[in-house]
Amino acid sequence: MSGQTQESRKTVSIMIPCYNEEENVVQITQAVIEQMQALPQYDYEVLLIDNCSTDHTRELIRQICSGNPNVKAILNAKNFGQFNSPYYGLCQTTGDCAISICADFQDPVEMIPEMLRYWEEGYQIVCGVKTSSQESKIMYRLRGLYYKAIKRYSEVEQIEQFTGFGLYDRRFLEVMRSLDDSKPFLRGIVAELGGKRKEIPYDQPLRRAGKTHNNLRTLFDAFMLSVTSYTKQVWRMVEVASVALGGGAIVYGAYQLIRKKLFWDEYNAGIAPIIAIIMILSAVFFFLLAILGEYVSTMNQRIMHRPLVVEEERINFGSQTPKPMGVCAALVNVEKAEEARKRISVARSLLASGSELEIVEAVTELSHEEVLGIRELMTRES
């Protein structure tokens, strides 16, 4: 009976992305472990994925892993960006669910039990949604404008103030693995493809130690990736603006021509109107070219089918190999389904004439001797 209980225990994975977090990585790992030790009904694993840190983060990660086999690590060969590394880390977890949490303590570890409670109630995704933040008021307001703009213009309803902090069920993780996307935008994927979802409000605290890596550039990167991935409205607005400015230029040109015809000797507009029109049209042209470049760049990166991350080292994974991603993951699922279909077909053919043992062997991977042993054990227990 105890063996059955052990087998039925669920495993929770906590994925922590790191980049130059030497002042936080030990503390956040310990805080997460303490939270999970307070939940003895679950097994757990902690996965630290380092995005090629340049400080002492990697040395500390190796020390943590050497002292606790439940802590695993993936060390990237280079910095693959703020989106690819956490996404890849989630896809490499092995638990029944995975929780993504930042290393800087801005995602409260105290919310882990609440997330697991909602997960047990049947929610596939549990999102942490910021209702306030103790960071810079200017940055928080800029983020708010960013979220509102994306939510308004996206073809998929986006989640405001959601940074990726949350719990993801194994079924959704399989969906993530099967996507053939070298530039994944997790927040949009959750909104577009996620199942039953629960949003939990929280107040984002200040970063506990170290220097933040989030700035206007990273915010702009997130904005452009979400725009190029989930909306065509920018193109539509540019089209409308181009038509309006073009029409205005034609009307203005006609106005200047008529005035010149009527007042040939008195009217002298000079080149100022021409320069103004050229500058306006040039601004529109270059803005359109920049937007086009963003779309083409994103498309090019996706068409090349490059890996999300190239690993340099794995720690505490044993003989486990990296989980397949993209098309490879889809092929693995197809192979599993085909194998199951074959087994079911064999079992159906045996239902009329086959023995009980033959049917069990057909639908499982157990040998004849193993089936006999299990049957004998069940007979003894009864």
Quick one: 196 and 62 in the same domain?
A: yes
Is residue 260 helix, strand or coil? helix
In the Cβ-directed half-sphere of 273, how many Cα atoms lie within 13 Å? 13
Contact predicate 105/208, CB 8 Å: yes
If one counts every other C-beta atom within 10 angstroms of the C-beta of residue 106, the result is 20
pLDDT in tens, 227-237: 666 666 666 67
Q: Examine residue 138 and state whether it is found in any structural domain, yes or no.
A: yes
Is residue 242 helix, strand or coil? helix
Q: Examine residue 228 and state whether it is found in any structural domain, yes or no.
A: no
Quick one: 62 and 193 in the same domain?
A: yes
Token pair, residue 276, equals: 């103004």
> Tell me, what's the pLDDT at 254?
78
Cβ-Cβ contacts under 8 Å for 29 (sequence gap 6 or more): 16, 46, 48, 64, 71
Output the domain CATH number for residue 40. 3.90.550.10
Last residue of one domain, picked from the residues 271, 303, 335 = 303
> Tell me, what's the pLDDT at 331?
46
Q: Examine residue 218 and state whether it is found in any structural domain, yes or no.
A: no
Q: Using CA atoms, how far apart are residues 231 and 220, in angstroms rounded to an integer?
A: 16
> Tell me, what's the pLDDT at 353?
58
Contact predicate 312/190, CB 8 Å: no
DSSP state of 268: -
What is the residue-averaged pLDDT of the chain? Answer: 79
Q: Examine residue 80 and state whether it is found in any structural domain, yes or no.
A: yes
Is residue 72 helix, strand or coil? strand
> Tell me, what's the pLDDT at 348?
57
Handedness of CA 332, 334, 340, 346 (dihedral sign): negative
Q: Using CA atoms, how far apart are residues 331 and 324, in angstroms rounded to an integer?
A: 9
Contact predicate 333/339, CB 8 Å: no
Q: Examine residue 221 and state whether it is found in any structural domain, yes or no.
A: no
- pLDDT at residue 89 above 70? yes
Last residue of one domain, picked from the residues 287, 315, 343 = 315
Quick one: 278 and 336 in the same domain?
A: no
Q: Using CA atoms, how far apart are residues 303 and 326, in angstroms rounded to an integer?
A: 13
Quick one: 191 and 46 in the same domain?
A: yes
Q: Using CA atoms, how far apart are residues 279 and 283, in angstroms rounded to an integer?
A: 6
Quick one: 204 and 59 in the same domain?
A: yes
Q: Which domain holds residue 341?
A: 327-381
Quick one: 115 and 183 in the same domain?
A: yes
Q: Using CA atoms, how far apart are residues 114 and 307, in angstroms rounded to an integer?
A: 34
Confidence class of residue 337 from pLDDT cuts 50, 70 and 90? Answer: low
pLDDT in tens, 32-59: 999 999 999 999 999 999 999 999 999 9
Cβ-Cβ contacts under 8 Å for 193 (sequence gap 6 or more): 172, 175
Q: Examine residue 1 and state whether it is found in any structural domain, yes or no.
A: no
Q: Using CA atoms, how far apart are residues 377 and 359, in angstroms rounded to an integer?
A: 19
Q: Examine residue 220 and state whether it is found in any structural domain, yes or no.
A: no
Last residue of one domain, picked from the residues 249, 271, 303 = 303
Q: Using CA atoms, how far apart are residues 276 and 287, in angstroms rounded to an integer?
A: 17
Q: Using CA atoms, how far apart are residues 50 and 73, in angstroms rounded to an integer?
A: 8
- pLDDT at residue 2 above 50? no
DSSP state of 324: P
Q: What is the DSSP string of 144-155?
A: HHHHHHHHHH-S
- Provide the pairing of β-strand 42-50 with 71-76: parallel
Q: Using CA atoms, how far apart are residues 194 and 150, in angstroms rounded to an integer?
A: 18
> Tell me, what's the pLDDT at 290?
73
Give the residue-averaged pLDDT of 264-284. Answer: 70
Quick one: 176 and 262 in the same domain?
A: no
- pLDDT at residue 86 above 90? yes
Quick one: 173 and 30 in the same domain?
A: yes
H or E, element range at 327: helix 327-351
Contact predicate 176/301, CB 8 Å: no
Give the residue-averaged pLDDT of 280-291. Answer: 74
Q: Of 52-66, 93-107, 196-210, 270-284, which gets the smallest average pLDDT?
A: 270-284
Quick one: 45 and 78 in the same domain?
A: yes
- pLDDT at residue 282 above 60? yes
Confidence class of residue 241 from pLDDT cuts 50, 70 and 90? Answer: confident
Quick one: 19 and 141 in the same domain?
A: yes
Quick one: 242 and 277 in the same domain?
A: yes
Q: Using CA atoms, how far apart are residues 268 and 315, in angstroms rounded to an integer?
A: 78
| Helix extents (H) in 204-326 | 216-230, 233-262, 272-303
Q: Examine residue 4 and state whether it is found in any structural domain, yes or no.
A: no
Quick one: 144 and 105 in the same domain?
A: yes
Q: Using CA atoms, how far apart are residues 39 and 36, in angstroms rounded to an integer?
A: 5
* Overall number of domains in the chain: 3
**Percentage of the chain exceeding pLDDT 90:** 37
- Give 357-366 contacts, CB < 8 A, sequence gap 24+: none
User: Does this model's pTM top 0.75?
Assistant: no
Give the residue-averaged pLDDT of 52-67. Answer: 95
pLDDT in tens, 185-210: 888 889 888 889 999 999 988 887 76
